[in-house]
């Protein structure tokens, strides 16, 4: 989807981050070993030394599907290609990869191994830091790369666009946190702040009971509002992308609209804590957004109308039984 000068550095950076995430998530290695293995590609990026991925692949292959195993097998070649990036691009990519992998290392240190207990973030500031390190930093990186490579965007107020980009990324990550809440709880991770749960008379372990959904709803509602505020900045960011930069604009618009649609379903569902319920935007709605792509690219009015419709839905109404959720649906 991205223009060629951006596709290669973005693609290589994404693949390196995804490889690190694959290592961070594998149950085939104990958390201390995962941390060491995450550090190996980081060190290879930093020093330029070769990476022997054979041992790593042998350890984690059985724990991952074919696509992720192939990614690890390709890691030395990905690193070799990464080293050919322009020095300025590599510097930007190095910085964002350092932040992303540090987020993975922090999570391995903070949270217990899967099926070995439950730990929560402490405060809203901790949650904000988490969403920044996992996605807000990507919005800043995206902005810097676009300004460097797309002449039509060089008139941007870079400070403002980096701020909007950061908030856009944080909003998208917060949507992921809320959507995946019941499943994350079952691997020992509660991203809802412990302090705010305590104000509702809840402990993190209480959220393992789906019947506690109504009691946690006030906190979820506040976080939905926070995500909406961040995505408002995402909408401003998208509108600021020149209409002649159609691919960039669409690459911003689609995740924005899907995230807003997800928030609307989160607001309505009465099954917030049920791991059997997956809250997601149906494919028919994604196809509708794609069908409207030319209008979204060419018209700020059309984009604003789509955002407004979904924003109203995300702010509206009490939960309805089963709304927007399908038991057992895939992700």
Domains and CATH numbers, the chain: 1-86 (no CATH), 111-327 (1.10.600.10)
How far apart (Å, rounded) are the C-alpha atoms in residues 41 and 52?
10
Enter the tokens of residue 261: 């649609």
For the cut 90, the answer to whether the pLDDT of residue 208 exceeds it is: yes
pLDDT reported for residue 40: 78
State the pTM of this model: 0.91
How far apart (Å, rounded) are the C-alpha atoms in residues 142 and 93?
10
The pLDDT tens digits of the residues spanning 24-49 come to: 988 888 888 889 888 877 777 777 77
H or E element, residue 300: helix 300-315
How far apart (Å, rounded) are the C-alpha atoms in residues 303 and 294?
10
pLDDT more than 70, % of the chain: 92
How far apart (Å, rounded) are the C-alpha atoms in residues 282 and 268?
15
How far apart (Å, rounded) are the C-alpha atoms in residues 52 and 127?
35
How far apart (Å, rounded) are the C-alpha atoms in residues 329 and 331?
7
């Amino acid at each position: 989807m991205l223009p060629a000068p951006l596709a290669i550095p973005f693609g290589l950076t994404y693949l390196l981050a995804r490889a690190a995430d694959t290592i961070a998530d594998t149950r085939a290695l104990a958390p201390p070993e995962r941390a060491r293995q995450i550090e190996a590609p980081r060190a290879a990026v930093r020093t330029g030394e070769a990476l022997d991925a054979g041992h790593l692949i042998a350890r984690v292959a059985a724990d991952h599907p074919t696509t992720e195993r192939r990614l690890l097998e390709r890691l030395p070649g990905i690193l070799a290609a990464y080293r050919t990036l322009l020095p300025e691009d590599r510097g930007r990519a190095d910085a964002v990869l350092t932040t992303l992998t540090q987020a993975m290392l922090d999570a391995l240190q903070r949270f217990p191994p899967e099926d070995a207990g439950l730990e929560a973030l402490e405060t809203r500031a901790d949650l904000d830091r988490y969403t920044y390190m996992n996605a807000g930093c990507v919005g800043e990186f995206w902005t810097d790369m676009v300004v460097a490579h797309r002449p039509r965007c060089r008139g941007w107020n870079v400070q403002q666009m980096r701020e909007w980009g950061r908030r856009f990324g944080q909003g998208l990550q917060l949507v992921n946190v809320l959507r995946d809440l019941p499943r994350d709880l079952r691997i020992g991770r509660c991203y809802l702040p412990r302090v705010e749960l305590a104000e509702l008379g809840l402990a993190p372990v209480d959220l393992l009971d789906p019947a506690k959904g109504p009691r946690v709803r006030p906190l979820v509602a506040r976080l939905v509002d926070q995500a909406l505020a961040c995505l408002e900045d995402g909408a401003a960011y998208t509108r600021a992308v020149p209409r002649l930069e159609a691919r960039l604009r669409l690459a911003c618009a689609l995740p924005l609209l899907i995230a807003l649609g997800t928030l609307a379903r989160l607001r309505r569902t009465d099954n917030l804590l049920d791991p059997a319920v997956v809250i997601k935007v149906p494919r028919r709605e994604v196809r509708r957004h794609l069908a409207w792509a030319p209008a979204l690219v060419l018209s700020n009015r059309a984009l604003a109308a789509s955002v407004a419709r979904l924003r109203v839905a995300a702010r509206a109404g009490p939960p309805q039984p089963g709304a927007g959720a399908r038991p057992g649906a895939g992700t």
